[in-house]
Amino acid sequence: MALATARGLGHAFGAQDVFAGVTFEIQPRDRIALVGVNGAGKSTLLKILARLEAADRGNVSLPPPDRVAYLPQEVNFPAGMTLEAYLLEAFAATRLIEAQLRAIEEGLEAANTDEAVAALLDRHASLQQQLEARDGYAYEHRLHETIAGLGIPDAHLGRDVASFSGGQRTRAALARILLGGADLLLLDEPTNHLDVEATEWLETYLTSASPAVVVVSHDRHFLDAVATRTWEIADGEFEAYVGNYTQFARQRAEREARARRDFATQQAHVARTEAFIRRYKAGVKSRQARGRQKLLDRLERVGPPKEPGKLRLAITATLRAGDVVLATESLGIAPDAPAGSGLRGQSPGMPFILEASAQARTFTPLVTCADTEVARGDRIAIVGPNGAGKTTLLRVLMGEIVPVRGRAHLGYGVQVGYYAQAHEQLDLTGTVLSSVFSMRSMSETEARTYLGRFLFTGDDVFKRVTALSGGERSRLALAQLALSTANVLVLDEPTNHLDIYAREALEAVLDQFDGTIIFVSHDRFLVDGLATHVWEVADGRMVAHQGTWSAIRAARKGAPVAVKASSPPTPPSFAQASAIARAVPHAQSPTVKVVRGQPDARELKVARERLARAAAEAASLEEELKTVNASLESASRSGNGSVLASLGMEHDRVYGRLRDAEERWLDAQARLEELECLVAQA
């Protein structure tokens, strides 16, 4: 039986529809990824399921309110409540049973008749059974296990949750939800502020837990590990897919390719029909022309495939750096070190030294860095738990704070472009337009055209920077970065606030960048896809590794690391799959053999039979594909990974055969029309 159902849900802001016609079912143990661009309506849909907002249209059936748990992006707490008290609220019923048991035990001492003692003992036994059914003897262990998995120290249990930072609040709220035992979890960006260790723990928890989950996240690695189904909201429309994010990306690319083929095929058919009507509307074939016109008027037109707004970004270095871009020597860093003068004193392209001052040497290092060199073209990912000192290291390299030990050398020809996590490089007093003018002289028309590549259109360019959302600020900071002439990019969490499609566009650009990149990120897709070296910051030390972060972690856990030459190909990202799909010819006219003279009746008969066979084959394969999709849906609900993998291969096989059959049908249709036109011309 479904936990929740929706039929025809629609929601609007003013006159603008956010989404419409949303219909779905959520089954027990479903793990559903909800994806779409920023502003598509993902958070709004979660709020409707959490009963925090009402849909404008349609109806929805939900579990009782106490069986649904919702994690918003922004979490607030009342003052005066400790973290421990907040988390223990998840076990209120269990703790009530404990209190009743204690009261009975005290009552036994005061009972003065056998009947009273027997009644109390019976009640005590009943409550003990209830406590055991709730696993009531282990809830304190679960609490400590959960906060440890999410990276919350036990020392924080006595702190007032209202005093926590934004990231700490999110972790606390997530821990409370996971401990609450709800049947349906609605999680809006749960991996925000989680480091890699905590994210991997959450993945393991969600894949083994019993509640159904609907999760909004831009972390593709997380969605691949957790999701068995994927919902997408795009251009106000809702589509459901079977499988995790990578499987969704492939299916969507296939669907888009098919939509383009259908549109191109229909456009070609309409053009041929209109040409026939124009030629014969006043001639001997006028009756046929009128008939075709009626058919054309009744034809349900296929619209052109919608192309979502995509970030169009390009970063090009104009100066070649020297062989050694950066070198560190006995470097020690601390977040409370004295402020530096930045790189403003550096002459363009000349070597520069960032060195500890006498005052800075009085500070205790938070991190001591291994001596290392960065060569031109290296891609360095800096990883580690929150608070370990990753951002501090970048600030030292940018000269914002001085080292407290040793020095860092910037090499010859180095020009640095910096992307700060909190977007400090943006002028909060300016507008989107003035932010571009501050980087390069250009006309307003040129600036507006340029900003359009970063999805700032119309009056968006006049928005104050202070009024921008997190995602808009990220896109503006990237627009400024792309206008720099940097050959070394220093990026602090560049994918924060970007939706999945913008992340993939950024990855593609960084992959093509011909300079050096040093970046901090918790995005494992970005780290594994881009980094050639990893600097791990943890436990007061920075250690340099060569290779991917996943390979390093797998080696630590004793897992076999596949040899690159024999590894299966990495599944394509959404951007890559879409590019591949667009490269497939889909609007070409099929090859038709030229027929000299008037075709005879036998040729027409053969052509019609060929078309009928092709149509029957395509129809049969469509039914077979529906059966496979139904089996995939069933397997995704059961969470059987091996069956899902086998059915996924079967889906690809049947879909490939269907695509070939459709091409044969198009060839046969074009051949028959060619022959009929030759007959009409005779």
In three-state secondary structure terms, 431 is strand
Helix (H) or strand (E) holding 522: none
Looking at per-residue pLDDT, the higher value among 292 and 152 belongs to: 152
| Residue 78 burial (CB count, 10 A) | 9
Determine which of 4-8, 11-15, 86-90 has the lowest per-residue pLDDT on average: 11-15
| pLDDT at residue 77 in the model | 84
Residue 484's CB: how many other CB atoms inside 10 A?
A: 18
Question: Pick the residue with more confidence: 663 or 526?
Answer: 526
Do 509 and 459 lie in one domain? The reply is no
pLDDT above 70: residue 343: yes
Would the pLDDT of 625 be above 60?
Answer: yes
Range of the domain at 387: 309-415+487-557
Of 383, 421, 369, the C-alpha closest to 548 is: 383
- pLDDT, position 605: 83
In a domain, residue 8? The reply is: yes
Give yes or no: residues 492 and 480 share one domain.
Answer: no
pLDDT at 61: 93
431 and 326 in a common domain:
no
Residue 118 lies in a domain: no
Query: Range with the lowest mean pLDDT among 232-236, 276-280, 376-380, 428-432?
Result: 276-280
201 and 70 in a common domain = yes
Q: What span, in angstroms and rounded, lies between the C-alpha atoms of 102 and 224?
A: 47
- Residues 6+ positions from 205 with CB-CB distance below 8 Å: 149, 178
Q: Which percentage of the chain shows pLDDT scores above 70?
A: 88
Say which residue, 504 or 566, is predicted with more confidence. Answer: 504
- Calpha distance 317→517 (Å, rounded): 12
The model's confidence at residue 523, banded by pLDDT at 50, 70 and 90, is: confident
The answer to the question of residue 290 being in a domain is: no
Whole-number Å distance between alpha carbons of 636 and 642: 11
Q: Write down the number of H helices and E strands in the chain.
A: 20, 20
Is 600 exposed, middle or buried, given 0-12, 13-18 or 19+ CB atoms closer than 10 A? exposed
Q: What is the pLDDT of residues 188-222, one digit of tens each?
A: 999 888 888 889 899 999 999 889 999 999 899 99
Residue 532 lies in a domain: yes
* Residues 6 or more apart in contact with residue 132 via CB below 8 angstroms: none
Residue 13: predicted pLDDT: 83
381 has pLDDT over 70: yes
| 610/504 same-domain check | no
Out of 214, 243, 272, pick the residue that ends a domain: 243
Residues 388 and 520 placed together within one structural domain of the fold: yes
pLDDT, averaged across the chain: 83
Instruction: Tell me, yes or no, whether 67 and 177 share the same domain.
Output: yes
In this prediction, residue 235 has a pLDDT band, given cuts at 50, 70 and 90, of: confident
Which pLDDT belongs to residue 382? 94
Neighbouring CB atoms inside 10 A of 556's CB total 8
Average pLDDT over every residue of 448-471: 86
The whole-number pLDDT of residue 232 equals 93
Say if residue 402 is in the same domain as residue 322: yes
Higher pLDDT, 659 or 133: 133
Edge to edge, the sheet with strand 212-216 lists 68-71, 184-188, 212-216, 31-35, 229-234, 237-242
Q: pLDDT over 90 for what percent of the chain? A: 34
| Same domain for 462 and 378 | no
- Determine the pLDDT at residue 582: 34
Identify whether residues 60 and 181 lie together within a single domain: yes
* Domain end call among 217, 243, 269: 243
Residue 291, in any domain of the structure? no
Q: Higher pLDDT residue, 167 or 43?
A: 43
CA–CA dist 229, 24 (Å, integer): 12
214-239: average pLDDT: 92
Question: How much is the pLDDT for 3?
Answer: 92
State the total domains in the chain: 4
Q: Which of 103-112, 168-177, 611-620, 653-662 has the highest mean pLDDT?
A: 168-177
Residues 336 and 201 in one domain: no
> HEC profile for 200-252?
HHHHHHHHHCCCEEEEECCCHHHHHHHCCEEEEEECCEEEEEECCHHHHHHHH
Specify the pLDDT at position 192.
Answer: 82
- 626-639 residue pLDDT tens: 788 778 667 655 65
Q: Is residue 505 part of a domain?
A: yes
- Residue 251 inside a domain? The answer is no
pLDDT at 500: 85
> Of 484, 510, 532, which residue sits at a domain end?
484
What CATH number does residue 213 fall under? 3.40.50.300
* 536 and 622 housed in the same domain: no
Query: Which H or E element spans position 451?
Result: helix 444-452
Could you tell me which of 556, 504, 515, 485 has the C-alpha nearest to residue 196? 556
Q: Is residue 286 part of a domain?
A: no
Per-residue confidence (pLDDT) for residue 484, from 0 to 100: 82
**pLDDT surpassing 70 at residue 337:** yes
User: What confidence tier does 116 reach under pLDDT thresholds 50, 70, 90?
Assistant: confident
